[in-house]
Amino acid sequence: MSSVTVESVVKTPALIGEGPVWEESEQTLLFVDIAGEKIHRWSSTSNQIQSVETGDTVGFVVPRESGGYVAGVGRSILAVDWSSQMMTPLAKVDEDKLNTRLNDGKVDPFGRLLAGTMAKESPHGQIERKQGSLYSVNSDLAVTRLLSQVDISNGLEWSLDQRTFFYIDSLSLTVDAFDYEPTSGSLANRRVVYRMKEGEGLPDGMTTDVDGRLWVACYNGGRVIHIDPTTGVQLQTVSLPVTKVTSCCFGGPDFSDLFVTSASLGLDQSEKSQQPLAGNTFRVRGLGVKGQPSRSFIG
């Protein structure tokens, strides 16, 4: 295997960088700054960054098949027109609660949007537990609650045969799997496929490679771990120069680059001086594997 390199490519520090999505047609990286209330697009060809302000916390952004994007802002799922910076409501979640916000979201292999919630953080970073849920949004914008009593709804991915859904509720310190029913998108048979080890921090966002293995960002762990979900074996660790590693996705011309987001919010002055790149987005090369193209929401 070639040597692994880690390079800071988006040097505009985010408070909570999250949810990277590679746009193949434009060779751009789409991601959000949750607490900074912005959606960013970074061009790998021009090294320029464009941004849209969302006016509230933004947990995720994904491409929309009909054009533009769909983002999770506050507790609303919005259509985003990039050129006009206009946002149009499509659906709401957690309508029975006022203390939650959308967090991670991703499009499944069939064009549905899955998105989760969590309690809003206190000024000191504390959250009330078991306030979150996981939802699916179909093409007709019907919203279905798949899970409740969630602490911090985070990483979402699917197996190559589309029959297994991988999920992270961060405070459980596990990566879980469910049987996934393609027609309805229903979940069954929850089980643990990986349990975090001492020093690995909290599991956060994740992605898959073409071999069906998972790459999991480790918040407060300063790394991304590569795991085989069929055996639960950790295959590789990629160390980053920041502790609050939040999510990752594959991209680049041939999908062999791993892009990794990070956060700076919650670091004290001493930690910030030791981690001057906190909040940046990184490109990891030389992993010897490739990822898959992102999917668009069909609603």
Catalytic residues, by residue number, are: 204
The reply to whether 18 sits in an annotated binding site is yes
DSSP letter at 272?
H
Q: C-alpha distances in angstroms, 100 versus 61, 78, 231, 280?
A: 18, 16, 35, 26
Six-digit token pair at 68? 């533009």
Coil vs helix vs strand at 131: coil
**Pairwise CA distance, residues 280 & 287, whole Å:** 20
Residue carrying the six token digits 């006022």: 98
The reply to whether 254 sits in an annotated binding site is no
The reply to whether 121 sits in an annotated binding site is yes
Query: What is the H or E stretch that residue 81 is in?
Result: strand 76-81
The reply to whether 157 sits in an annotated binding site is no
Query: What is the H or E stretch that residue 20 is in?
Result: strand 17-23
Residue carrying the six token digits 């209330």: 37
**Pairwise CA distance, residues 170 & 299, whole Å:** 28
**Pairwise CA distance, residues 175 & 168, whole Å:** 5
Under 8 Å between Cβ of 118 and 126 = no
Residue carrying the six token digits 């910030």: 272
The reply to whether 26 sits in an annotated binding site is no
**Pairwise CA distance, residues 40 & 92, whole Å:** 23
The reply to whether 220 sits in an annotated binding site is no
Annotated binding site for a divalent metal cation: 18, 154, 204
Binding residues for substrate: 101, 103, 121
Known binding-site positions: 18, 101, 103, 121, 154, 204
